[in-house]
A and B are shown apart, each in its own frame.
Chain A
Amino acid sequence: MAASKSQIEELYDFIYPLAVRAGEILLEGYQNAGKAVALKDGEFYNVVTAYDNQIEEFLVEKILARYPDHKFIGEEDTHKNDNVTKELTDAPTWIIDPIDGTSNFIKQIPHVSVSIGLSIKKQIVLGVVNNPAQNKLYTAKLGQGAFCNGKPIQVSSCEHLNDANVAYEVCLLHAPKIRNKHIKRIYHVGSNARRLLAYSAVVDSLCMVAAGNLDAFHIEDMYPWDCAAGYLLIREAGGVVTHPYGGPFDIMKPDLICAGTETLRAEIEHLIRKADQEKHVGGE
Chain B
Amino acid sequence: MSHNVDVEKCLEVASNLVSEAGRLIARNNEQRQDFVCKSNDIDLVTQTDKDVEQLLMDGIRRHFPEHKFIGEEESSGAEGVKKLTDEPTWIIDPVDGTMNFVHAFPHSCISVGLKVNKVTELGLVYNPILEQRFTARRGHGAFYNGRRIHVSGQKELGKALVTSEFGTTRDEAKMKVVHENFEKMAKKAHGLRVLGSAALNMSMVALGAADANYEFGIHAWDVCAGDLIVREAGGVVIDPAGGEFDIMSRRVLAAATPELAQEISKVLTQFNPLPRDD
Contacts and interface: CB of A to CB of B under 8 A. Distances in A.
**A and B: real partners?**
yes
Interface in B98-116: 99-100, 103-106
B62 interface: no
B209 A179 contact: no
Contacts of B175: 187, 190-191
Point out which of A171, A197, A208 has the most chain B C-beta atoms below 10 A from its C-beta: A197
Interface in A186-211: 186-187, 190-191, 193-200, 208, 211
B195 A165 contact: no
A109 B209 contact: yes
B55 interface: no
Contacts of A193: 166
Given A107-B210, A213-B106, A190 B166 contact: yes
A107 B256 CA distance: 14
Contacts of B183: 173, 183, 281
Contacts of B186: 170, 173-174, 179, 183
Interface string A140-169: 000000000000000011000001010000
Contact of B204 (A37, A109, A163, A173): A109
B266 interface: no
B161 A197 contact: no
Interface in A245-272: none
B196 interface: yes
Given A107-B209, A157-B36, A173-B187, A195 B106 contact: no
Interface in B170-199: 170, 175-176, 178-179, 182-183, 186-187, 191-196
Interface residues of A, number: 38
B105 A103 contact: no
A156 B86 CA distance: 46
Nearest to A192: B170
A229 B183 CA distance: 31
Given A163-B41, A196-B166, A197-B196, A107 B99 contact: no
A41 interface: yes
A71 B141 CA distance: 53
Contacts of B41: 163
Contacts of A212: 103-104
Contacts of B193: 109, 170, 198-200
Nearest to B150: A37
Nearest to B104: A213
A281 B161 contact: no
B5 interface: no
Given A108-B209, A109-B209, A282-B176, A134 B99 contact: no
Contact of A103 (B166, B191, B208): B191
A186 B105 contact: no
A174 to B, nearest CB: 7
A111 to B, nearest CB: 8
Interface in A41-81: 41
Interface in B53-91: none
A103 B192 CA distance: 10
B30 to A, nearest CB: 11
Nearest to A133: B130
B130 A110 contact: yes
B192 A198 contact: yes
A112 to B, nearest CB: 12
29 contacts: A37-B208, A107-B161, A107-B208, A107-B210, A110-B106, A134-B106, A156-B103, A173-B186, A173-B192, A186-B182, A187-B175, A190-B179, A190-B182, A191-B170, A191-B179, A194-B168, A195-B165, A196-B166, A196-B194, A197-B195, A197-B196, A198-B194, A199-B193, A212-B104, A213-B106, A214-B105, A281-B179, A281-B183, A282-B176
8 nearest interchain CB pairs? A173-B186, A196-B166, A198-B194, A170-B192, A190-B166, A107-B209, A213-B103, A187-B179
